[in-house]
Structure 1
Amino acid sequence: MNNMQSLNSVLNYVDQNLDVSIQKLFELLRIPSISTQPIHAEDCRKAANWLKEDLQSIGFKASLREVKWAKPGHPMVLAHSDQSSAKPHVLFYGHYDVQPTDPDHLWGTPPFDPVLKESVSGHKVIIARGASDDKGQVMTFLEACRAWKAVNGSLPVNVSILLEGEEESGGENLLPFLKENADELLSDVVLVCDTAMADRVTPGITTSLRGMVTQEVTIQCASHDLHSGIYGNAAANPIAILCHILASLRDIDGRVTLPNFYDGIIEPSSETRDQWKKIFPSDENLLSEAGLSVAAGEKGYTAIEQTWCRPSCEINGISGGYEGDGFKTVLPAKASAKVSFRLVPGQNPALIEKSFRDHVTSLLPKDAKVEFKSFGASEGFAVSRESKYLAPALNALTEEWGVKAATIGSGGSIPVAGEVREALGLDTLLIGFAQADDRIHSPNEQYGVESFHKGIRSWVRILAALAEA
């Protein structure tokens, strides 16, 4: 059997066994593996064991690895196929833990009782917590491996699989695990299925991710809350001071005002911008689902460019004074805000944090004091365009979907890509099949049957393409 005949046979197997694959996914979705809630610790272990046994049934040598570094947590699932020195070696990463389900009353069906339904857009979808993020995506890869093994008895490349149980609860154990097990995890390229397509019909590989700087700033003036009739106008108001400072972080054109904030940023090529323009011809293509229509960030950049390749500064929460029902004429002693910066490749998180703190401090009046609290920082990530695995993977996606695959950005942060580079020195191809309306982290999370089906077929093709790379 030649390579093309072999590939077609595997793809036919995927098509003929789609219902069985969906039922396998349903088994995993029924396990409430919520990593942030201690009450579900045993459920997380149950999900890990389910995956270990499923991988063993495909022929992988699979085991659970306990984590212990930041704190004892949910186990990693680590598996290896039979290895051949003549084949490239890929490491696949995903996570089996899921977000909490609240508010539960907004779910149309129980979150851990998966169902098939037709969505409002007319597509058949799987509804359950974790359907898209990330169990459905993980199972696209596992089912592709199952199909290759069922038809050919072997995989076209050497495959290792690492499935995390703490991605939704901070993932603090991942980096030390990668470093301690670097020799066992060493491969040629890392594959991650935890991202979305460019749009409903255009597959894509996410080649850039934004990093993040997160800060909480608290300003205090008086020693205690004051009566605004007695002290108002005469006493410094920390809410007013904080609002003035927050408003000064952007100028009238939407640019962040911190000194040297944009240093080191690389603009996307005109070819890339043209490709994105075809996918998102207007800002409404991105914003309409949120009930919006006009890009609110930097002038001169489209909405998709503002999220995929430009850094941001956002106020995520603000509090101070009386916030209960009714009214209380209090002049608060303290006010605080949570501020985040999404960073693109080339920006230095430590310098951004220092610049923000210096900016806030420089605008404080005499009677005001400030405290800062950091909630972590990470650099932006970009895949090397010189990676010899990028073009074959793009071609495989194009062949499956019948639409030229795009290289896309992501406004979010996926720490594993940067951590893999730090610990293993490897590039990561972020290839996902989620859609914008999958409602990840929200009630009624869904994953399209087409995304699941063609996701499996896509991985079948990608594994074949990487074997030739």
Structure 2
Amino acid sequence: NPDTGMLAPDTPTITYALRGLAYFDLEIYGPQQDLHSGLFGGVVHNPAQVLAELIAGMHDAQGRVTLSGFYDRVTPLEDEERAELSRLPLNEKFYLQESGAPTLWGEEGYTPAERTGARPTLEINGIYSGFIEKGSKTVLPAYAMAKISTRLVPRQDPSEVGEQLRAYLTENAPPTITWKLEQTAGSVASISDRKSPWIKAYVEAAQSAWGKRPIFKREGGSVPVVVHFQKLLGVDSVNIGFGLPSDNMHGPNEKLHLPTFYKGIEALVHFFFNVKSKQ
């Protein structure tokens, strides 16, 4: 399944784990219409403020998600796997360079590579409320909304995470507003056997094409069809790919590095011969 990618043109990569997803729309309602903030501010609870406070409370000072039970199904990383992940060039310098952020943030006790592939996360994907155009308009908005996604690791259930988020809102939302939560998407995570004959076939293929052993990584994104193959067909996917971090995937000026693509074709030829020889 060439739907993942490589970390660099000279670094063949096998993605053996993909995170799942649970996506939500959260709406907070206050007054029946937008109000004048000078006349009603300080008397009517502002839905935008409530939303901001609820979102802020979804992480603690150590970067952990505060939803009760969120980590209950998360399997701790073993030392051998942490050592394998430490081979990845996904250090703080890499993420600072790729993101342009002033500094990194995240769950304490884990490396950037572990946070983005082996640990679950909760992110705010969008926020809307009140007057957001240029200029001034002193309104107290009638409602506020946020789009929230969680990236999940193996054994976490998207529906269960939805119930955890609902319980958090029930416990923490004030009586001065009403709220509505809708789960709009969900898929479970996948993990493949790094020692399967099919993975070994690609390890040998990558060594033939690039002259080096591929690295193993957990991917932060989701490829739902991999889970479908596991559940419906009972087979693991060999998740490889030849896109690079600099290819601007899903962004403006998306591109493909042709020398890497051609090297990938060579690796796949070796792979199919290796699979045939192992049957």
TM bracket (short chain)? over 0.9
Gaps of 5+ in 1: 1-191
Contact residue 87 and residue 215 of structure 2 kept, 8 A: no
- Equivalent-residue separation in structure 1 for 2:75 and 2:259 (angstroms): 35
- Residue 201 of structure 1 and its aligned partner are, at CA, apart by 1.6
TM-score, normalised via structure 2 length: 0.95
> Which SS does the other structure have where 2:238 is aligned?
strand
Q: For 2:129, give the aligned amino acid.
A: G
Correspondence for 2:228 among 414, 419, 432: 419
Contact residue 284 and residue 292 of structure 1 kept, 8 A: no
- Equivalent-residue separation in structure 2 for 1:265 and 1:317 (angstroms): 26
Contact residue 121 and residue 150 of structure 2 kept, 8 A: yes
- Equivalent-residue separation in structure 2 for 1:294 and 1:308 (angstroms): 19
- Equivalent-residue separation in structure 2 for 1:275 and 1:424 (angstroms): 29
Correspondence for 1:316 among 116, 121, 125: 125
- Equivalent-residue separation in structure 2 for 1:286 and 1:392 (angstroms): 31
Q: For 2:193, give the aligned amino acid.
A: S
Correspondence for 1:265 among 60, 67, 74: 74
- Equivalent-residue separation in structure 1 for 2:243 and 2:75 (angstroms): 27
Correspondence for 1:437 among 214, 238, 246: 246
- Residue 388 of structure 1 and its aligned partner are, at CA, apart by 2.4
What does residue 175 of structure 2 align with? Answer: 366
Post-superposition Cα deviations, 1:342-364, rounded to whole Å, max 9, x if no partner, equal 00111111111110011012212
1:340 aligns with 2:134: no
- Residue 444 of structure 1 and its aligned partner are, at CA, apart by 2.0
Correspondence for 2:16 among 202, 207, 210: 207
Post-superposition Cα deviations, 1:85-106, rounded to whole Å, max 9, x if no partner, equal xxxxxxxxxxxxxxxxxxxxxx
- Equivalent-residue separation in structure 2 for 1:439 and 1:282 (angstroms): 19
- Equivalent-residue separation in structure 2 for 1:278 and 1:385 (angstroms): 15
- Equivalent-residue separation in structure 1 for 2:27 and 2:274 (angstroms): 53
- Residue 453 of structure 1 and its aligned partner are, at CA, apart by 1.1
User: Residues 450 and 272 (structure 1 numbering): CA distance in 2 closer, same or farther, change over 3 Å?
Assistant: farther
- Equivalent-residue separation in structure 1 for 2:270 and 2:112 (angstroms): 32
- Equivalent-residue separation in structure 1 for 2:230 and 2:102 (angstroms): 37
Give the aligned CA root-mean-square deviation in angstroms: 1.5
What does residue 2 of structure 2 align with? Answer: 193
Report runs of 4+ in structure 1 exceeding 4 Å deviation.
none
- Equivalent-residue separation in structure 2 for 1:294 and 1:247 (angstroms): 19
Higher relative contact order (CA 8 A, sep 6+): 2
What does residue 376 of structure 1 align with? Answer: 185
1:13-412 to structure 2, matched below 5 A, reads 192-280=1-89, 282-292=91-101, 294-385=103-194, 387-412=196-221
- Equivalent-residue separation in structure 2 for 1:448 and 1:350 (angstroms): 39
- Equivalent-residue separation in structure 2 for 1:453 and 1:378 (angstroms): 32
- Equivalent-residue separation in structure 2 for 1:413 and 1:422 (angstroms): 16
> Which SS does the other structure have where 1:389 is aligned?
helix
- Equivalent-residue separation in structure 2 for 1:331 and 1:342 (angstroms): 33
- Residue 282 of structure 1 and its aligned partner are, at CA, apart by 2.8
Contact residue 88 and residue 215 of structure 2 kept, 8 A: no
User: Residues 451 and 214 (structure 1 numbering): CA distance in 2 closer, same or farther, change over 3 Å?
Assistant: same
Gaps of 5+ in 2: none
- Equivalent-residue separation in structure 1 for 2:18 and 2:136 (angstroms): 44
- Equivalent-residue separation in structure 2 for 1:196 and 1:399 (angstroms): 18
- Equivalent-residue separation in structure 2 for 1:364 and 1:272 (angstroms): 40
> Which SS does the other structure have where 1:419 is aligned?
helix
> Which SS does the other structure have where 1:279 is aligned?
coil
Post-superposition Cα deviations, 1:101-145, rounded to whole Å, max 9, x if no partner, equal xxxxxxxxxxxxxxxxxxxxxxxxxxxxxxxxxxxxxxxxxxxxx
Correspondence for 1:455 among 264, 270, 279: 264
Identity of aligned residues (%): 35
Q: For 2:251, give the aligned amino acid.
A: S
Contact residue 361 and residue 370 of structure 1 kept, 8 A: no
- Residue 308 of structure 1 and its aligned partner are, at CA, apart by 1.1
Contact residue 90 and residue 112 of structure 2 kept, 8 A: no
Contact residue 295 and residue 302 of structure 1 kept, 8 A: no
Post-superposition Cα deviations, 1:392-437, rounded to whole Å, max 9, x if no partner, equal 2212212221221122111101111011222222211111111110
- Residue 281 of structure 1 and its aligned partner are, at CA, apart by 6.5
- Equivalent-residue separation in structure 2 for 1:281 and 1:376 (angstroms): 28
- Residue 333 of structure 1 and its aligned partner are, at CA, apart by 1.1
Post-superposition Cα deviations, 1:174-198, rounded to whole Å, max 9, x if no partner, equal xxxxxxxxxxxxxxxxxx1111113
Post-superposition Cα deviations, 1:17-48, rounded to whole Å, max 9, x if no partner, equal xxxxxxxxxxxxxxxxxxxxxxxxxxxxxxxx
- Residue 386 of structure 1 and its aligned partner are, at CA, apart by 5.1
> Which SS does the other structure have where 1:454 is aligned?
helix
- Equivalent-residue separation in structure 1 for 2:258 and 2:76 (angstroms): 36
- Equivalent-residue separation in structure 2 for 1:267 and 1:341 (angstroms): 18
User: Residues 269 and 394 (structure 1 numbering): CA distance in 2 closer, same or farther, change over 3 Å?
Assistant: farther
Contact residue 198 and residue 406 of structure 1 kept, 8 A: no
- Equivalent-residue separation in structure 2 for 1:405 and 1:385 (angstroms): 12
Q: For 1:202, give the aligned amino acid.
A: T
